[in-house]
A = this chain, B = another copy of it.
Amino acid sequence: MTLKRNIRIKDIAKKAGVSIGTVDRVLHKRGEVSEDTKKRIIQIIEELDYRPNILASTLASKKSIVFATLTPKASTMESYWAKPQQGIEKAIAQLRQYGIKITQFFFDMENPGSLTNEATRLLESSPDGILIAPWVQDEALLFAQKLDEKNIPYLFIDSTLNDAHPISFVAQNSLQSGYLAAKLIDYGIPGDGLILLFHLAKKTDSANHLSQREDGFLKYYNLKAQNDHRIVKIESSGSSEEIKERLVDLGIELCDVDGIFVTNSKVHVAAECFKDLCKTPKIVGYDLITKNIELLKSGKIDFLICQRPEAQGYAAIHLLFDYVIRKEQVKPENYISIDIITAENIDYYSSF
């Protein structure tokens, strides 16, 4: 292996018989170069397969890039949105070296208008790239359209919006994750069974997400399940007590339930209803929040599907970096893995 030294813009300049300033002009397409020297230089660049030294380049250019993020406010350290936040912060720490500043804005999930307010404040910092969690769809779409007009690159995290034009998004395939959930329940219930599908969410929550998970779940049972199952869907935003009452109203005995799928992180609310039974049903839900982790470890929840929220935040910032700073193409879709967590592997499941 020859230790080929990386070629520098000085080398190109010499070979083309010009100064490095001129080479730099064509590299950055800032004109003021005659057509033929430009052609000549471009040819040499390709011939030598020149790769700029990012270290030197960011060191020399003192201009500091500003990124902005717009995500739901995490009410406590335990709540879901604290996690993408961690990944974002980790990425920020690494990228500070490259002179990148990141300003964060948070909106209130309960109050859609706050997204628009924060979006306006965000724009005042005139960022070079934006990360958005489009949790409140209508407001988020309005904002995205404004960014499309202004030609500011943005990227979605957690989910995406159909009519927007982000440079990319980082999210989990919700349909497929519901499909997987069904498999996990079906695998554990060999015979016929009564299965409850819970939507434990308020209207303002990202409805799209949850209904896709439901669709995936039902798809599996339509296509794959061997036996005759009865699937009952239950919607509620209340407590365990309220859910129990609902079940009574529906004429369902707790002991008859074989499997439970909850389409979001509220699975702990459902699990609480069933935790003292003689025979507990198979329970599958989402996300490693504290209450779920406890129930998983004590065997009251069987599987939690996880979407690596920290990794999503981390990856999203790096994608912005690749696009804005490195000027690289980025994949338009970044589906994150659909991770299966049990009491047995949770201790080794790190944000990494």
Residue numbers of A with Cβ under 8 A of B are 1, 3, 6, 53-56, 58-59, 96-98, 101, 103, 172-173, 176-177, 179-180, 183-184, 187-188, 190, 220, 282, 302, 311, 315, 335-340, 342-345, 347-350, 352
Contact = CB atoms under 8 A, between A and B. Distances in A.
Question: What's the number of copies of this chain in the assembled complex?
Answer: 2
A187 B302 contact: yes
A187 B187 contact: yes
A133 to B, nearest CB: 20
Contacts of A188: 187-188, 190
A305 to B, nearest CB: 9
21 contacts: A53-B59, A55-B55, A56-B59, A59-B59, A176-B344, A180-B342, A180-B345, A183-B342, A187-B187, A187-B302, A190-B190, A311-B352, A315-B352, A337-B345, A337-B348, A337-B350, A337-B352, A338-B348, A339-B339, A339-B340, A340-B340
A38 to B, nearest CB: 27
Given A187-B302, A337-B352, A349-B337, A97 B180 contact: no
Given A183-B342, A187-B282, A220-B344, 9 more contacts: A1-B103, A54-B97, A55-B59, A56-B59, A176-B345, A176-B348, A180-B344, A338-B348, A340-B342
Q: Which of A96, A98, A315, A347 has the most CB of B within 10 A?
A: A347
Nearest to A220: B344
A333 to B, nearest CB: 11
The 9 closest A-B pairs by CB, nearest first: A180-B344, A340-B340, A338-B345, A55-B55, A183-B344, A337-B349, A55-B59, A187-B188, A338-B348
B344 A179 contact: yes
A97 B54 CA distance: 8
Contacts of A338: 344-345, 348-349
A6 B64 CA distance: 12
Given A59-B55, A59-B59, A340-B340, A348 B173 contact: yes
Contacts of A337: 339, 345, 348-350, 352
A220 B344 CA distance: 10
Contact of A336 (B172, B184, B348): B348
Nearest to A180: B344
A25 B172 CA distance: 50
A350 B176 CA distance: 15
Nearest to A190: B190
A33 B87 CA distance: 42
Contacts of A183: 342-344
A55 B55 CA distance: 5
Q: Which of A98, A302, A339, A344 has the most CB of B within 10 A?
A: A344
A188 B103 CA distance: 48
Contact of A55 (B58, B179, B187, B352): B58
Nearest to A338: B345
A3 B343 CA distance: 44
A257 to B, nearest CB: 15
A72 B1 CA distance: 21
A311 to B, nearest CB: 8
A172 to B, nearest CB: 8
Contacts of A347: 176
A72 to B, nearest CB: 21
Contacts of A343: 183
